[in-house]
Structure 1
């Protein structure tokens, strides 16, 4: 009998959900939803990406990306403008309001990472990262394979 209470997918799912709860709770004063902080964080790294580049970078479908960006735009955190390079694309830029909360957003993400790795040695942190990266690469590779009937 398989013990599904102690499986890798279960733990990854729990980590994701707990992280979303923690981050959502700590950013609620800014009315940033659970899935929106990742778009801000990506733009903090490289402002001016197109919607398509954001979706590809974050591995999030274009519809979900468009919805999240619409909400961030309505809240005044981003602007979307037609790209000069390619009129079919919208470039996404952070507003002054988004820059104003950058340190708070980054601190919440750093605090979560520190809480998540509390009690782990540097060697354990490195090993966990290596394993998760390999698993992420496997997931990306196998997710793109056609499903056999």
Structure 2
């Protein structure tokens, strides 16, 4: 970064944008966007869950989740089935096509992590992860006086 002055927010924003760009380029041939791979990885870890549960788990608004799931469904990576316990809801599942590309997605994410932690010791990496987790918790737990931004 040319300008070494900056806040935590600015640095976080830069890392996020570069990371999204990197992941997009790496997964472009699979027709998976940077905003979609997190849904695939979450479904891989959790199995079939509802779109609402996905939104809560990822702390992403329902509209964004719906758009991402629709694109992934059109690309053949997920299927939606009516939840037998709640006929108004759908459970989302990975297709075999999605399962086949999980290792590629994991590799791209790991490559990005290796790029941004290049030159850091293992101790520094653990320290950064611990701090970022705490900052994420702080952001998640923050509430405006009149509303929650997390729901």
> What is the TM-score when the length of structure 1 is the normalising length?
0.91
Alpha-carbon contact 1:55-1:62 (below 8 Å) kept: yes
Inter-partner Cα distance in structure 2 for 1:32 and 1:114: 21
What is the match of residue 116 of structure 2? 116
What is the match of residue 89 of structure 1? 89
Alpha-carbon contact 1:4-1:10 (below 8 Å) kept: no
What does the per-residue CA deviation read over 1:57-76, in whole Å, with 9 as the maximum and x for residues that have no partner? 11100001000000000110
User: How many residues are paired up?
Assistant: 145
- Structure 2 alignment gaps of length 5 or more: none
- Cα RMSD over matched residues? 1.7
What is the match of residue 38 of structure 1? 38
Alpha-carbon contact 1:76-1:97 (below 8 Å) kept: yes
Alpha-carbon deviation of 1:89? 1.6
SS in 2 for 1:101: helix
Alpha-carbon contact 2:23-2:33 (below 8 Å) kept: no
Alpha-carbon contact 1:50-1:92 (below 8 Å) kept: yes
Alpha-carbon contact 1:77-1:98 (below 8 Å) kept: yes
What is the match of residue 9 of structure 2? 9
What does the per-residue CA deviation read over 1:73-126, in whole Å, with 9 as the maximum and x for residues that have no partner? 011000011111222221000001101111111111111111111111111111
Alpha-carbon deviation of 1:4? 9.8
Task: Indicate whether 1:62 and 2:62 are aligned.
Answer: yes
Inter-partner Cα distance in structure 1 for 2:64 and 2:53: 13
Task: Indicate whether 1:21 and 2:21 are aligned.
Answer: yes
What is the match of residue 145 of structure 1? 144
Task: Indicate whether 1:134 and 2:139 are aligned.
Answer: no
Q: 4+ residue runs of structure 1 moved beyond 6 angstroms?
A: none
Inter-partner Cα distance in structure 2 for 1:4 and 1:122: 24
> What is the TM-score when the length of structure 2 is the normalising length?
0.90
